[in-house]
Amino acid sequence: MSLPADDAGAVLINVAFDRRSRRFGAGYGDFLLHMARYIERLHRRGHAVRFASHMPSDEKFLTDLEREFALKLEVEQLHSMDLEQGYQVYRDAALVVGTRGHATMIPFGLGTPVLSLMSHPKMRYFLEDIGRLEWGVELSEPDLGDVVFEKSVTILDAAARVRQEIAPLQLPLLEAVSGAAAGFLARV
């Protein structure tokens, strides 16, 4: 089954394969099943779904998804794009769902709603820092596909409001980064 991918505002998914054993342990097969069901449910709801590839190795997910579930997603090969093209892909997304930290932090920085599939404490810390822990799901969640779908629908159904919430959440991070940069530059 090939899912539609030609409309604006697609849901972008990223699955990273570096540190695969730390991310999935022995549960990759379950993760793949949960994600296939999640994608199918989004499709039935009328959402286009694409894959955001940060590295060629990320595309293993696509191969596995097609082999195991006959699901084929269009891929946005961010690793082949210049910076502005990659930013535009993330700006145009309705929602970015990803395991890679950059698949949460970059779209968030561009004002796009995110849902982090967490396997590393840094993503929990990031979501706690912005006061939006509800924008994350632990990969070890037994009902991963259902929980990710429910959270995605909540975000997608309130897309305009969520986008408006992001800018004020970015300000404290900008202040922290600006302060750190100023301190660094003062020592150079």
Is 5 part of any domain?
Answer: no
Q: Mind listing the pLDDT tens digit of every residue in the chain (188 residues)?
A: 333 333 448 999 999 876 666 667 768 899 999 999 999 999 999 999 999 999 999 999 999 999 999 999 999 999 999 999 999 999 999 999 999 888 999 999 999 999 999 988 889 999 999 999 999 999 989 999 999 999 999 999 999 999 999 989 988 877 777 766 677 777 76
Bridge partner residues of 137 (DSSP): 117
CATH number, domain of 36, equals 3.40.50.2000
Is 6 part of any domain?
Answer: no
pTM of the model: 0.88
Q: Could you list the residue range(s) of the whole structural domain that residue 181 is in?
A: 11-187
Is 90 part of any domain?
Answer: yes
Is 1 part of any domain?
Answer: no
Q: How many domains does the chain have?
A: 1
Q: What was the pLDDT predicted at 181?
A: 66
Is 83 part of any domain?
Answer: yes
Is 2 part of any domain?
Answer: no
- Quick check: 117 and 24 in contact, CB under 8 A? no
Is 4 part of any domain?
Answer: no
What is d(CA 91, CA 112) in angstroms, rounded to the nearest whole number?
6
